[in-house]
Structure 1
Amino acid sequence: MSVVAVVAIWVTYLTGWTVLRQSLTRLPRPRWGAVLLWCVVAVPSLVQLLWAPELLEWGGRDASAIASGEWWRLATSIVLQDGGWFGTVFNLSMLAVTLLLIGDVCRGLTCVSVFLVGGVLANVLTLWTTGQSGAGNSMATMCLLAAMAVTVAWPRRPAREVLVPCALLVVATLSLVVTGDEHGPAVVLGLVMGAGLVRRGLPVDG
């Protein structure tokens, strides 16, 4: 991963979190749905690292295996990790912070749906654009973060408190796309999904 991509990923997280903070009226608190979603990702990831490394071979995103009919990998690769302990701790930490901050914006079925559908579609886009194998929840997390940032920022336009973070988010996303990083299409997908939620007037707190 290039230095530009690493910086862009951090900028995406930080700016997305900054936008979400604008919706907070009190200190965020974990919600049961968010805790459950985090556990659904964390438990298989930790089991893979501690006791069953073969899970990555069985359920990771592998272009040739998926082409042969193993479609479940598009979903199972979201709850497995290919970055060792560092990558796992990073991915689970980023997911935890994101789920905590979106608690008052999106919870329940909408949150789970955006995360899972976004993660699966991000895997499809990755295979279509680069064919890169791998595993991890980072793309699903960034898709969810981008989608919820849109739902917060859209009604506030062009409020000063979200204008700069949103501009930085767009620049970071373009940097990821231009450098060919797999997270770029995931963030774009999240922005589109967030816009779709707003335009259709769908509730994000149900």
Structure 2
Amino acid sequence: MMGSLVAVAFWVLAVAVMLVATAAAGDTTPWRRPRASTAALWLIVLVPSLVQLLVPAMLSGLRRDWPLILNGQLWRLVTSVVVQDGGVAGLLFNAFCLTLVLLGAQLYWSGIRIWTTFWAGAIVSNLVVGPDLQPTGAGSSMAAFVLGSAIAANALCARQRLRAAGWASVVVCCVAVMVVGRDYHAVACAVGLLAGLLPPYGPRPARR
């Protein structure tokens, strides 16, 4: 039962992040053409993931593998993001989450902050979950959840639009479900919530 609730929380979190960003930015057209930096990040993550379907050995070569990381293969802290475990279903879920979070993020933050939060969050999350919680694994979900949770926390700090705060609270509730379910993605979300506390607060258009 708890596992099913955690799975639902994953999907709801991705949708809620999009709604946080659109409400905060006052933008009703989130499906506009992505910025170049958004498209580049999306392609960097998902193109290797598609190639992996044809070359399955990429997964073991690039995934987070804590004993190998301790042995000096530090690049796995980054490359684990661009391959996906869970087969086709895992790829489709992670692509869905990444797409929604990035489309929302580009309404809210600059490309520099999006890229920094995404990749730094991925590395920190891998460092935290790797030793004990999930020594072996791959996927973009933790990095996407870091970015999404950061936007939610930042929107709450901005104290701007009530609707944005409401959806940000939904994100926090999804994180709480992950914590209760003892799912390691809660670690990534916690990293994101802390990252979102860094100023400036509010979406880019509000700061111009």
Residues 14 and 100 of structure 2 are in contact (CA less than 8 Å); yes or no, is this contact kept in structure 1? no
Specify whether residues 160 and 104 from structure 1 end up closer, same or farther in structure 2 by C-alpha distance, changes over 3 A only. Answer: closer
Superposition TM-score, scaled by structure 2 size: 0.87
CA contact (8 A) 2:22 2:107 kept: no
Corresponding residue number in structure 2 for 1:19: 20
Runs of 5+ unmatched residues, structure 2: none
CA RMSD of aligned residues (A): 2.2
Structure 1 spans left out of the alignment, 5+ residues: none
Question: Any idea what the Cα deviations from partners look like across 1:45-97, whole Å, max 9, x if unmatched?
Answer: 111112x2111111111121112121111110001111111111221122112
Question: Does the alignment pair 1:120 with 2:123?
Answer: yes
Q: Tell me if structure 1 keeps the 8 A contact 2:154–2:198.
A: no
- In structure 2, what is the equivalent of residue 197 of structure 1? 199
Q: How is 1:52-201 mapped onto 2 (pairs within 5 angstroms)? A: 52-156=55-159, 159-198=161-200
User: What is the deviation of 1:190?
Assistant: 0.6
Map Cα deviations across residues 126-159 of structure 1 (whole Å, 9 max, x no partner). 11441431100001001111112223332225x5
What amino acid is aligned across from residue 185 of structure 2 in structure 1?
H
* Residue 162 (structure 1) shift: 3.2
2:10 corresponds to 1:6: no
Cα distance in structure 2, aligned partners of 1:18 and 1:7: 17
Q: Quick check: 1:48 aligned with 2:41? A: no
**Worse-superposed segment, 101-110 or 118-127:** 101-110
Structure 2 residue matching 1:69: 3-state secondary structure: coil
Contact 2:18–2:103 (CA under 8 A) maintained in structure 1: no
Matched, 1:32 2:36: yes
Aligned equivalents of 1:13 and 1:133: distance in 2? 24
Distance 2:13 2:165 in 1: 14
Secondary structure of the residue aligned to 1:195 is: coil
Change (3 A) 1:151 1:163: closer
Q: After TM superposition, which residue ranges in structure 1, 4 or more long, deviate above 3 angstroms?
A: none
Question: Structure 1 stretch 127-136 or stretch 110-119: which is displaced more?
Answer: 127-136
> What is the number of residues matched between the two proteins?
201
Contact 1:45-1:88 within 8 A present in 2 as well: yes
Name the amino acid aligned to 2:46.
A
Separation of aligned partners in 1, 2:185 and 2:200: 23
